[in-house]
Structure 1
């Protein structure tokens, strides 16, 4: 062997198991991932890595499975400060009587900054490396994620009524257009348009949102078909199901991300197929708010791309995407009356390569392949409650939870090492969170 046959790498990660996601349905043994700069240089056997590479740093993870960083495709990060505040209520009572009044009382730039950082800490610690956010002060969220080195699709809000971020649709769209232009070339931040729902945004602003998406390439994310009452009310008021109205307004398209989609019939599925729109499944939030059951297997059989999100911690009540995967897989089986529906590998794909495809980043995120960006997580499967391990993919979905994540890299930069966050000051953050909790608790009791 000569010196010129050896390739240098910054990091070598050795693991007991590796799930690349592409090719699909594969679990590999005793593999090594070589990282050079911000990208994956190679994924090879450990023996081949010994022969071909020399790394500046080697990390041995003998009891771990490594896989792409998870992609949480829907949430409201700052609402982590409302976690557990108004549980056991139906959606509209939860929104009208508790969440919207609390937002009116507390939401500010500082609230969004602290709540978002709390959410990012939880997501990073449980394996998420990219998240999608739909909330107020998107410029704060984008800057915080960028500063932390975390990827984020950040959707600016669009509603018919005033909020802490603006006076109405015209101001939201004006500020949103500037927000898109400011961030659209950033490698970490993906600016997007976030019309809240068909029942909170009228036809004119929705048409303008569709036009803005077409002119800038920004995605549209919208809560759609979240409950049976939403659909029934829409038919009564407009004569159209919400998906049909969105199609008529030009909102449905390949850049459209339809969140929830629980109350669905064949006409809705046909519109999604024809338009190329994507579905974002939020099973635990749907269950907790009794919103409904999304027919995920029908979407998959129709060729519709389905990714997954936790929704906000105020309606979940956590941001652990691994827990969401287990719920999604088991719920899909019940809804389809088929125990083979949504396999463990398909569930993992929803949180990795499918999320990357929805973001338009499938060519560089969502799988462990040479040339892709080095967004990687490691999960420790050595605990007694995870033994024995017959199928690492099955374990990740049905037996695991996010607290088993021990390492995380984004762009090759460590975010979690030995279970500890590297770029967020947790003690300082907890002091700020406690301050908000005290204020919110005092307001509720008065």
Structure 2
């Protein structure tokens, strides 16, 4: 059978079925989809590939899925670090955004973020930011899969005048991009402290009408919960429950401060959570109860948050930190093992986005979104367990090759179709516009 691409690898970790590691196997790819996984010798007999890649010292995994980020904020990386969340947002980030954010800012910042993510093995990201059409255009230009947020706030910004304006502009972007195979959309009300009941009700109606997930920050800080009790009489999650937002379509971001009853509520409604351990630590928000969430059956994916609050878009870092924090907090070394951490960074994110029939694991019929990690470094030698090495040893610098929808986007550690030097110059131009006025 003639096919587009055959990739041989020392190890293949398909993520589905759970715990499987295939040795000396190959993935056959045609027309952007996985055709088969089989032993190398059998694949060599069954297929005649247009391109044959031999990765003899590599592990091949599904492309990583960044379940929560603000991609364009890469242009604000390192601005006003080491501050609490509310001070960081209200006194620094929001004023800087008010002065500088535009469609061009979002396009340029998302291109920068997409390049960083692709080079680190991320093939799909879930975005929440202004000017969604510009973000989607940048993702398409980079060749990365993206779930674009139709963002909403109660207050005006340079992007939109009021809640209805946010939603109308987001829906217009969705209509303009409905035929782009790499782009999907989420409703993205920012957070319970920036979105009122009427706005949430409108978001819920639209999400049901267009069958899209709802992507929202929730229970990120203790202060957020205290304010909700003062203003609404209940904690934020109880308020969302009262408004009817808890469902399998909800992606709650951060969820640091949860009671046992709230964990049970999330599980009962089939909600998903985006765990962002680095951002939560850097902003001193706390540590999410991931082991309890997983034990309750809540689907958990991993996110980086934006580069302004992380400051990396690095899911290898998030996998390792998530696993270590869960062990440290629970006092149990067997909590959140390597296979589970990899699941969170791949299929967990895909399920949250409703994309698990398309991506997140290596199964025939799914899109060929793949990441190859080279184990040819002395720091990765010896290797007794490739999945353990992926989570606890390897870093994004070991990613050698990346494919999205069967198209090579990184080859032998080089980005394809993206001019890195041009992006670095572009970032410097934005830095000169933003600084020194917005740095204190």
- Compute the TM-score of the two structures, normalised by the length of structure 2: 0.98
Matching residue of 2:421: 427
- Asked if 1:73 is matched to 2:50, the reply is no
Q: How many angstroms apart in 1 are the aligned matches of 2:277 and 2:438?
A: 29
Out of 156, 168, 176, the residue aligned to residue 162 of structure 1 is 156
Q: How many angstroms apart in 1 are the aligned matches of 2:245 and 2:165?
A: 20
Matching residue of 2:147: 153
Structure 1 residues 87-166: aligned runs within 5 Å: 87-166=81-160
Matching residue of 2:43: 49
Structure 1 residues 193-342: aligned runs within 5 Å: 193-342=187-336
Q: How many angstroms apart in 2 are the aligned matches of 1:86 and 1:60?
A: 45
Structure 1 residues 10-29: aligned runs within 5 Å: 10-29=4-23
Matching residue of 1:414: 408
- 3-state SS of 2:286 partner: coil
Mind listing any 5+ residue stretches in structure 1 that lack a counterpart? 1-6
Q: How many angstroms apart in 2 are the aligned matches of 1:280 and 1:93?
A: 23
Matching residue of 2:351: 357
Contact 1:18 1:66 in 2 (8 A): yes
1:239: Cα distance to partner?
Answer: 1.4
Q: 1:438 to 1:233 in 2, by over 3 A?
A: same
Out of 32, 35, 39, the residue aligned to residue 38 of structure 1 is 32
Q: How many angstroms apart in 1 are the aligned matches of 2:6 and 2:275?
A: 34
1:404: Cα distance to partner?
Answer: 0.8
Cα RMSD (Å): 1.3
CA deviations over 1:88-114 (Å, ceiling 9, x no partner): 111111111111111111111111111
Q: How many angstroms apart in 1 are the aligned matches of 2:203 and 2:171?
A: 10
Matching residue of 1:178: 172
Q: 1:57 to 1:445 in 2, by over 3 A?
A: closer
Q: How many angstroms apart in 2 are the aligned matches of 1:372 and 1:214?
A: 26
- 3-state SS of 1:73 partner: strand
CA deviations over 1:379-424 (Å, ceiling 9, x no partner): 0111111111111101110111111111011111110011111021
Query: Paired residues, what number?
Result: 440
Contact 1:180 1:218 in 2 (8 A): no
CA deviations over 1:316-372 (Å, ceiling 9, x no partner): 010011111000110111222211111100000011111111111212211111111
Matching residue of 1:3: none
- 3-state SS of 1:136 partner: coil
- Asked if 1:59 is matched to 2:79, the reply is no
1:261: Cα distance to partner?
Answer: 0.2
Q: How many angstroms apart in 2 are the aligned matches of 1:391 and 1:228?
A: 39
